[in-house]
Amino acid sequence: MRTFPEGFLWGGATAANQMEGGWNEGGKGWSVSDCARAKFDVDVKNYEKQNEITSKDIEEALAHPEDMVNYPKRHGNDFYHHYKEDIKLFAEMGFKVFRMSIAWSRIFPNGDDVTPNEEGLQFYDDVFDELKKYNIEPLVTMSHYEPPLNLTLSYDGWYSREVIGFFENYVRTICERYKDKVKYWLTFNEVDSIIRHPYTTGGLIKDRFPNKNFEEVCYQAMHHQFVASALATKICHEIIPGAKVGCMITKLSYYPMTCKPEDILKSQQMMRNIYAYSDTQVFGEYPSYLLSYYKNHDIHIHKEAGDDEIMKKYPVDFVSFSYYMSSCVAEDETGIEKTAGNTVMGLKNPYLPSSEWGWQIDPIGLRISLVELYDRYRKPLFIVENGLGAKDELIDGKVHDEYRIDYYRKHFKCMLDAIIEDGVELMGYTSWACIDLISESTKQMSKRYGFIYVDVDDYGNGTYDRYRKDSFYWYQKVIHHNSLDFE
Ligand code: BG6
């Protein structure tokens, strides 16, 4: 029998901004995600346009606090009011770990407040206590697309150096408060994503920087996040003995379309773009190829004295990542079909099937990713997001999602191969998302990922009742046997 390592951390992943709802309750302030508008005529082949947010969009969002239809993250799946029921269901599946994020604006409603909001702190105390009841370890992301909106409006988001100080204050507050309850932490979700969606990740709005090179603005903000991440690691280790802090990257994978050396070179270059961010957080310094990119593109990052030392001194303990799909690249793209991926476009791989949203399903790519990341870093790995967004149908209280089981079965087999045959050290796995929630890229509810169906549609209509899908029972068996060999 091929089994996963003893103590393997099986579980599920979520994020406050896509799940909680209760967006203006309990003293919570506005976060950037509360202004993320639904695009009902969603075009997955045009992600770039979808991620564009202007100052006018924000004005409109602020003018309509009652609008839950156009701003679906305001209601999410209403975990804020259902957390006890949801955690009970996670426990029923046998979860060992639950990945969630803390909404910064629940703790510091404006980001720059001097004192934290007690009601917000108490909410997460209650969530952690509920998890503890079932021996489920929380894995907490400190920042998952949730910068308080005030930091955008008053400081220009992470472009401002001052935001590092506000983040430090927030991190110190949550580490002190939850030091006996949370051992596993991630600093920034997909820290690289600030380049693809600067507003959600970094609170950056392009039209606020009329005379600047916006790419430089994004990299400057990312520099501030790298320094903040290192400081968060330091704070976390000081306050919580034995705490483990990880970085989190989007593990996109690009294969060469052909064996033409030009295509291979292009895929190598693209892959370096992916690793640049984990290289920085693991080795504690910018890789030379990223510095060359800055130089060749006239990008000037302002560093303060001590930044390099801080980044070097406090690298992460483990490497976590999301993995959903792969795509191809070619030097000459003429005539090659394109397809959507995780907020990026890529070339279609003729050997792979795709999800209904065009993301190419590639379980072997997960094994390749594990091997590459482990060989590169020699640090424990954690898959903190992986899953299939699909249109599920609820019929008589049941969802027959064999397609999702098939997706997981193939990915889990490749994880086992990586652990047993390739010698990869894998700490755990949290599926995205263990319960249906609002999609980040499309803001749809109908792009469902969960083992648990939530009865809400794209317009926020529904009972919000929870239902176990067929995949719920299948995942329960995997966790129970710590193996796939029960089938
Ligand atoms: C990851 C994000 O990139 O992908 C999540 O960390 C997101 O927040 C997930 O939800 C799946 O993407 P989407 O666009 O289908 O929700």
Exposure class string for 467-483: b at 16+ Cβ within 10 A, else e: bbbebbebbbebbeebb
Known catalytic membership, residue 190:
yes
The closest alpha carbon to 314, from 375, 227, 398, belongs to: 227
User: In ligand 1, which atom is closest to the CA atom of 441?
Assistant: 14
What are the domain boundaries of the chain?
9-481
pLDDT of residue 48: 60
Q: Which residue has the tokens 């961010």?
A: 277
- The band of 299, judged by pLDDT with boundaries at 50, 70 and 90, is very high
pLDDT of residue 49: 61
pTM exceeding 0.85:
yes
pLDDT of residue 474: 98
pLDDT (tens digit, 9 = 90+) per residue, 437-453? Answer: 999 988 999 999 999 99
pLDDT of residue 47: 62
Q: How far apart are CA 64 and CA 60, in angstroms?
A: 7
Mean pLDDT (whole number) for 319-344: 94
Known catalytic membership, residue 385:
yes
Return the residue whose CA atom lies nearest to atom 9 of ligand 1. Answer: 440
Range list of H helices, 51-78: 55-63
Q: How far apart are CA 233 and CA 230, in angstroms?
A: 5
User: In ligand 1, which atom is closest to the CA atom of 389?
Assistant: 15
Task: Spell out which residues line ligand 1, taking CB within 6 angstroms.
Answer: 15, 18, 189-190, 250, 322, 342, 385, 389, 432, 439-442, 447
Q: Which of 385, 393, 402, 487 is catalytic?
A: 385
Mean pLDDT (whole number) for 88-99: 98
Q: Is 406 left (phi over 0), alpha (psi -120 to 50) or beta?
A: alpha
Q: Which residues contact 208 (CB under 8 A, 6 or more apart)?
A: 55, 156
**How far, in Å, is the centroid of ligand 1 from the Cα of 252?**
12
Substitution site in 407, 440, 446 for ligand 1 pocket (most atoms within 8 Å of beta carbon): 440
Q: Which of 137, 190, 216, 440 is catalytic?
A: 190
- Percent of the chain with pLDDT strictly greater than 70: 98
CB 324 within 8 A of CB 243: no
**How far, in Å, is the centroid of ligand 1 from the Cα of 414?**
21
For the domain covering 9-481, report its CATH number: 3.20.20.80
pLDDT (tens digit, 9 = 90+) per residue, 264-287? Answer: 999 999 999 999 999 999 999 999
pLDDT of residue 116: 98
pLDDT of residue 40: 78
Q: Which residue has the tokens 């719920």?
A: 472
Substitution site in 100, 199, 342, 345 for ligand 1 pocket (most atoms within 8 Å of beta carbon): 342
pLDDT of residue 52: 80
**How far, in Å, is the centroid of ligand 1 from the Cα of 442?**
9
First to last CA, the chain: 11
- Evaluate if residue 209 carries a pLDDT over 90: yes
pLDDT of residue 342: 83
pLDDT averaged over every residue in the chain? 96
**How far, in Å, is the centroid of ligand 1 from the Cα of 56?**
25
pLDDT of residue 340: 87
pLDDT (tens digit, 9 = 90+) per residue, 239-249? Answer: 999 999 999 99
Instruction: Determine how many CB atoms are found less than 10 A away from the CB of residue 288.
Output: 9
**How far, in Å, is the centroid of ligand 1 from the Cα of 52?**
17
**How far, in Å, is the centroid of ligand 1 from the Cα of 324?**
9
- Evaluate if residue 399 carries a pLDDT over 80: yes
Q: How far apart are CA 19 and CA 319, in angstroms?
A: 24
Return the residue whose CA atom lies nearest to atom 8 of ligand 1. Answer: 440
User: In ligand 1, which atom is closest to the CA atom of 439?
Assistant: 16
CB 201 within 8 A of CB 157: no
Instruction: Supply φ then ψ for residue 358, to 5 degrees.
Output: 90, 0
Mean pLDDT (whole number) for 117-126: 98
- Percent of the chain with pLDDT strictly greater than 90: 95
pLDDT (tens digit, 9 = 90+) per residue, 34-91? Answer: 999 988 777 777 666 666 899 999 999 999 999 999 999 999 999 999 999 999 999 9
pLDDT of residue 403: 98
- Evaluate if residue 480 carries a pLDDT over 80: yes
Q: Residue 48, class by beta-carbon neighbours within 10 Å (0-12 exposed, 13-18 middle, 19+ buried)? A: exposed
